[in-house]
Copies of this chain bind each other. A is one copy, B any other.
Amino acid sequence: MYIKNYDEIIKSTTNEENLKVKKWILDCIEAALRSVEPSVAVKSALKIINNKLNIRGLSFNLNSFEHIYVIGGGKASGAMAESIEQLLGNKITEGIVNVPEGTEGNYHTEIIQINPASHPIPNENGLHGAKRMIEIAKKAGEKDLVIVLISGGGSALMPYPADNITLQEMQNLTNLLLKSGATIEEINAVRKHISQFKGGQLAEAIYPATALTLIISDVVGDRLDTIASGPTAPDETTFKDAYNVLKRYNLLDKTPENIINRIKRGLSYEIPETPKSGNKIFKKVHNIIIANNRMALIGAMKEAVKLGLNTVILTSFLEGEAREVGTVLGSIVREIYNYNSVIKKPAMILAGGETTVTVRGQGKGGRNQELALSAAIKIRGLEGVGIASLGSDGIDGVTDAAGGIVDSTTVEKGLENGMNPLEYLDNNDTYSFLSQTGDLIITGPTGINVNDLIFICIS
């Protein structure tokens, strides 16, 4: 059971119809998380039969490799490493994965080193690990296999600035970019060109060995060049793009000198570009997504079918300001509730993605809690409707909750306690509201990292 406050959620639900709906939702949440647990993901994707490693139609003869190395990093990469070692045992020559500090004790491996690093601000230990990975990658020869384990957070956990750029300089630039209004694509264009790891450069180091990258995606749309900054994926951006971003946001003067120098050397072709698609190195690279948001939603669908519900994935690309997304989802619920449109009741509608919160207030909350409370306003009084939104990693904002689960009575319960939901939303204080109405979902960190999951149930 991932949900730790299951009994409290059930106890706080007095209406019979809502209770039924909430139980269905909680069952589907459990199923969704279970289906993308890193160990489950590794073991359902990889099958070893007669010394052949089979994955998604590919087949590798394990006896044909002289060495097998395992490297990588991310929030789920410790659990992935553990499972890989259980599968391949001492066929693995050596390995190292960077995991978030404090989680290293959760994983039990004998061959693959579990190296704690910091996140979201990179540290020396992360750098040390990334250097070690590049050493292994370069050492690997034509007859070797390098298994790369990538998951969300990998970009910060595996920092490796190029030239003599320091971690501090890299961090200063990231902060400047984050404040500038640059898009995440623009920020990544810069970051890839001051790194010697990101943007396909790890793949370059691995070549001519075979690279098998197993990916747990935390990126909406699963872009390979975006997840953990795509260390084994072709990079479509250039030094020119990186320079233009700094120029566009007036950051050329503020950018640390080492960084500017590198980008200028790139512009004048003194140093090579990141590898592009079509580059021969990618013929020996296999990037395979073994878990993502949509697979979690499919896990939930299977459970919903077992429960006898009609079910549909509305979207696995959900984005937008959390409270507005909640309003739109509430609008769709009202249509189904009134007209059985889109899908017939009883129904479980699933969505996934990653919303954003524009912080304007002083309160405590997270994007999933905002989405849930906002949706609660739209489903006020609609008996037999429940909506849950949670971060699959179990962490929503800076709270101990994973998200919220609301029903037709949530707003009423709040008002009875003197809480106006709109005021709590305006103050970004949804945790305070939902904790008093008994509508939080508490899981603690799950070790799963496939973005946010939304469950809408109408009985």
Q: Residues on A close to B: CB < 8 A?
A: 183, 221, 294, 312-321, 324-325, 327-332, 334-335, 339, 341-342, 353, 378, 422
Contact = CB atoms under 8 A, between A and B. Distances in A.
B318 A328 contact: yes
A321 B322 CA distance: 11
Q: Which of A325, A328, A335, A339 has the most CB of B within 10 A?
A: A328
Contact of A313 (B294, B321, B341, B422): B341
Contacts of A316: 335, 339
A332 B318 CA distance: 7
A294 B316 CA distance: 27
A320 B314 contact: no
A335 B320 contact: no
Contact of A324 (B317, B324, B334, B378): B324
A321 B326 CA distance: 11
Copies of this protein in the complex: 2
A114 to B, nearest CB: 36
- The 8 A-B pairs at the shortest CB distance, nearest first, are namely A324-B324, A320-B327, A315-B335, A317-B334, A317-B331, A320-B324, A315-B331, A328-B328
A332 B320 contact: no
Nearest to A423: B181
A183 B341 CA distance: 29
Given A324-B324, A325-B324, A332 B319 contact: no
Given A331-B353, A353-B331, A339 B313 contact: yes
A296 B375 CA distance: 26
Given A221-B334, A321-B321, A342 B313 contact: yes
A320 B331 contact: yes
Contact of A332 (B315, B321, B422): B315
A317 B332 CA distance: 7
A403 to B, nearest CB: 18
A216 to B, nearest CB: 19
A334 B315 contact: yes
A111 B332 CA distance: 44
Q: Which of A221, A312, A324 has the most CB of B within 10 A?
A: A324
A186 to B, nearest CB: 11
A316 B342 CA distance: 12
A238 B451 CA distance: 46
Contacts of A314: 332, 335, 341-342
A331 B312 contact: no
Contacts of A324: 320-321, 324-325, 328
9 contacts: A313-B335, A314-B342, A317-B335, A318-B331, A319-B327, A319-B331, A320-B324, A324-B328, A328-B329
A353 B334 CA distance: 12
A328 B320 contact: yes
A333 B198 CA distance: 31
A7 to B, nearest CB: 34
A313 B339 CA distance: 10
A320 B370 CA distance: 14
A202 B422 CA distance: 33
A183 B342 CA distance: 30
Contacts of A335: 313-317
A456 B233 CA distance: 33
Contacts of A341: 312-315
